[in-house]
């Protein structure tokens, strides 16, 4: 007979012979195995997802970023699972308990929970009641009782138990109790039973929440969860996270209700074979003890944890979508900008920012104190506009925002070509102003002035400025502090990376923070790029990147296509065309008899290009199509055209609102239950999911997005609770 060590070797060999991870993922993601294998090979070579998605379409069969991230996540999970399988097989083999059947079950596992269920009986554990019973020598009695049950032998278990009375076992009752403890643990460690119970809890369980008695009706924000019930399988993610938050704050109690008799009936159907009434009763009591003492609590905890992970995932997806919309918001453009961080008592911090984003000057204006100070503030304001030829005015939408907007409108009256005035969402600006990044950039400025600069730059180019701020501080999340923080950071970082590379980065003006998110770069290399830029002047050629310390050939390959050089020595350096494809573009230009510098103006000729003529082993038609699209509009910004919201001048605070009033606003946050809209009254209103459209809406993100300008109608206003209900059904 084979030793356990040889059995282990066989198991590991079989793991290798099993359908491999690539084949498994291909089936799950409905892709071809070669697509998966090629993408994983590229990742192993150090390629990033943005690079693979854009420049290696031929290798992956045009997999997009979402598919590539799903692949990366699933591959990491299955790799961890396989590693854990190996460890568990080794551990069980070392105990001499690795059977062929157990080995096959472990090898077939595709979920970590199922794998741990199989390992549970063999896992080192504390001194349980079953362990104590075994120490007393009662395991043979438990085996005898199992045999009586299986064989339907009509034998007295009392007489059998009497054989085990000893110094350690004082009575028949103690012997039977010990045998019951052993059998109860065996039942509780049965992977099939545990899976059944969890599945039934998922399918038929009901979450019930209660508000603790110390919180009378109407005294808590969790009021809707008083006597609240929802099925486990249908509860909304935001509802579940809200309940868990209330539980953490010791306001809510959460229970999971289920039909216990149904579970016991299932266990009895699986376990009880005897027709002996005494033995039947013994088994019924044992199974009830096993379920209540050893299975129920862990099963409930597992389902709650599973549901929490699901709710976290859904919440993070919403956060990702909102963040992406915010980062990709239309830029107003790099124009001379006057940025105002409004304030009453402390004044309005006003910063002038150049068309390159450079800080030039600041003033503190006091338009809200007295008529004399207001007039003085207006003079300074108009002088700044004239002195710097201001084209944009950015006003923070926080405290005193609308009042400051009125001052700006009043002060610009009579101007021939007044600047464009825009209310800017200032969420996160105060976080940035006190950050290390801001202190390093502006060490001699007050943090309120830094905040004004951030507001102005956010209007000029939202992406370039927002990358400096922790996404969790931007204010577009849903229960962001309650979800898995490690997963949240990972997904938000991926979103920022995706957005930065989607838009592309100006190599000669980009900040360290922006460069850090470029494919293939890191903080060290980003710093080195800026140092090189400061020492040698603006980059004129993408190839000069190879002169930057620690930026080698691989980093260049990954980054070059996403870095733009305006007015450089090579026209293609201002496009998304990768340097590795320049020879193909040069061949196309030559065949069309058009110089590279003028190829963008030859759109009619570009439409006549026969792509098949230029296909090579490395560059196929998908990449060639991308190249032609880029040549038609070289260096184009893929973001939408800028549009600002026009708040109603007569509505500046919540008391100005009237039921039925129609207003223009801007979406500030999208949640599973609806969308929040800034209508210019210092308190966002909520458009419930049922009020988003004249038809059924299952997902608010299909209707609205962060930054979108919308028209709404006021449904209800609660001044005491500062709640505004809005509708987009006009």
**CATH architecture of the region 654-727:** Beta Barrel (2.40)
Neighbour count for residue 633 (Cβ, 10 Å) = 12
Largest Cα–Cα separation, the chain: 108
Q: Edge-to-edge strand order for the sheet containing 359-365?
A: 359-365, 348-353, 337-341, 392-396, 420-424
> What is the rounded distance in angstroms from the CA atom of residue 422 to the CA atom of residue 590?
47
Residue 14, pLDDT score = 43
> What is the rounded distance in angstroms from the CA atom of residue 207 to the CA atom of residue 256?
5
Q: Where are the domains of the chain?
A: 4-122, 129-322, 334-460, 654-727
Superfamily of domain 4-122: RuvA domain 2-like (1.10.10.650)
Give yes or no for a contact between 692 and 700, defined as CB atoms under 8 angstroms apart.
Answer: yes
Let me know if domain 334-460 sits in CATH 3.40.50.720: no
Q: Which of 343, 350, 385 is nearest to 368 (CA)?
A: 343
Residue 602 has, within 13 A of its CA and on its CB side, a CA count of 18
| 337 membership: H or E segment, kind and range | strand 337-341
Give yes or no for a contact between 119 and 109, defined as CB atoms under 8 angstroms apart.
Answer: no
Residue 19, pLDDT score = 52
> What is the rounded distance in angstroms from the CA atom of residue 142 to the CA atom of residue 36?
51
Residue 481 has, within 13 A of its CA and on its CB side, a CA count of 6
The tokens of 500 are what? 């930065």
**Interior angle at CA 598, CA 592 and CA 604, nearest 5:** 55
Give yes or no for a contact between 682 and 700, defined as CB atoms under 8 angstroms apart.
Answer: no
Q: Find tokens 């290390």 and name the residue.
A: 436
Residue 17, pLDDT score = 36
Give me the CATH topology for the region 129-322: Tex N-terminal region-like (1.10.3500)
SS3 content of the chain, % helix, strand, coil (to 5): 55, 10, 35
- The verdict on pTM exceeding 0.75 is yes
Q: Find tokens 């539980």 and name the residue.
A: 247
Mapped onto helix, strand or coil, the DSSP state of residue 424 is: strand
Residue 214 has, within 13 A of its CA and on its CB side, a CA count of 5
Segments in the chain below pLDDT 70? 1-19
| Partners of 230 in the β-ladder | 207
């Amino acid at each position: 007979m084979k030793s356990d060590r040889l059995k282990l070797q066989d198991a590991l060999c079989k793991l290798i012979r099993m359908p491999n991870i690539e084949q498994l993922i291909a089936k799950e993601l409905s892709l071809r195995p070669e697509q998966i294998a090629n993408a994983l090979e590229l990742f192993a070579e150090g390629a990033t997802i943005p690079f693979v998605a854009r420049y290696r379409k031929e290798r992956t069969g045009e997999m997009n970023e979402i598919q590539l991230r799903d692949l990366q996540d699933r591959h990491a999970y299955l790799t961890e699972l396989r590693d854990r399988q190996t460890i568990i097989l080794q551990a069980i083999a070392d105990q001499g308990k690795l059977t062929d059947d157990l080995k096959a079950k472990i090898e077939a596992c595709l979920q970590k929970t199922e794998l741990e269920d199989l390992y549970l009986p063999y896992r080192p554990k504390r001194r349980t009641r079953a362990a104590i019973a075994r120490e007393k020598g009662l395991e043979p009695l438990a085996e005898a009782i199992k045999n009586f049950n299986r064989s339907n032998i009509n034998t007295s278990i009392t007489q059998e138990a009497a054989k085990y009375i000893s110094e350690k076992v004082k009575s028949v009752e103690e012997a039977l109790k010990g045998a019951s403890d052993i059998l109860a643990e065996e039942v509780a460690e049965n992977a099939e039973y545990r899976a059944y119970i969890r599945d039934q809890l998922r399918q038929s369980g009901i979450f019930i929440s209660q508000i603790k008695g110390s919180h009378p009706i109407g005294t808590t924000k969790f009021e809707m969860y008083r006597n609240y019930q929802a099925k486990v399988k249908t509860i909304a993610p935001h509802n579940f996270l809200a309940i868990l938050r209330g539980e953490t704050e010791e306001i809510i109690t959460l229970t999971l209700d289920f039909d216990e008799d149904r579970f016991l009936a299932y266990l009895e159907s699986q376990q009880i074979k005897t027709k002996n009434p005494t033995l039947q009763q013994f088994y019924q009591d044992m199974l009830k003890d096993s379920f209540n003492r050893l299975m129920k609590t862990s099963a409930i905890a597992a389902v709650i944890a599973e549901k929490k992970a699901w709710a976290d995932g859904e919440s993070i997806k919403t956060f990702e979508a909102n963040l992406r919309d915010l980062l990709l918001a239309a830029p107003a453009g790099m124009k001379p900008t006057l940025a105002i961080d409004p304030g009453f008592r402390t004044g309005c911090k006003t910063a002038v920012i150049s068309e390159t984003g450079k800080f030039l000057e600041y003033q503190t204006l006091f338009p809200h104190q007295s008529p004399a100070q207001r007039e003085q503030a207006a003079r300074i304001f108009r002088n700044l506009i004239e002195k710097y030829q201001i084209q944009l005015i950015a006003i923070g939408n926080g405290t005193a925002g609308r009042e400051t907007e009125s001052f700006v409108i009043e002060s610009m009256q009579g101007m021939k070509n007044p600047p464009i005035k825009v209310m800017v969402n200032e969420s996160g600006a105060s976080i940035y102003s006190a950050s290390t990044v801001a202190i390093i950039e502006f060490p001699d400025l007050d943090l309120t002035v830094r905040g004004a600069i951030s507001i102005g730059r956010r209007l000029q180019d939202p992406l370039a400025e927002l990358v400096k701020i922790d996404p969790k501080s931007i204010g577009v999340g849903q229960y962001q502090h309650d979800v898995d923080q490690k997963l949240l950071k990972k997904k938000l970082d991926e979103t920022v990376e995706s957005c930065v590379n989607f838009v592309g980065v100006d190599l000669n003006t980009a900040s360290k923070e922006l460069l850090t998110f470029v494919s293939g770069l890191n903080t060290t290399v980003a710093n080195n790029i800026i140092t090189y830029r400061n020492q040698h002047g603006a980059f004129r050629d993408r190839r000069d990147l190879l002169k930057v310390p620690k930026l080698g050939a691989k980093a260049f390959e990954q980054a070059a296509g996403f870095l733009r050089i305006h007015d450089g020595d090579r026209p293609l350096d201002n496009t998304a065309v990768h340097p590795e494809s320049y020879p193909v573009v040069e061949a196309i230009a030559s065949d069309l008899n058009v110089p590279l510098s003028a190829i963008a103006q030859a759109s009619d000729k570009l439409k006549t290009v026969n792509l098949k003529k230029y296909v090579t082993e490395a560059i196929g038609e998908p990449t060639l199509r991308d190249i032609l699209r880029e040549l038609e509009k070289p260096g184009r910004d893929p973001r939408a055209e800028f549009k600002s919201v026009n708040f109603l001048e007569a509505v500046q605070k919540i008391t100005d609102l009237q039921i039925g009033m129609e207003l223009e606003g801007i979406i500030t946050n999208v949640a599973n239950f609806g969308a929040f809209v800034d209508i210019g009254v210092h308190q966002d209103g909520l458009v419930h999911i049922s009020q988003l459209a004249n038809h059924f809406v299952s997902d608010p993100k299909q209707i609205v997005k962060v930054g979108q300008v919308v028209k709404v109608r006021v449904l209800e206003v609660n001044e005491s609770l500062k709640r505004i209900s809005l509708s987009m059904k006009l």
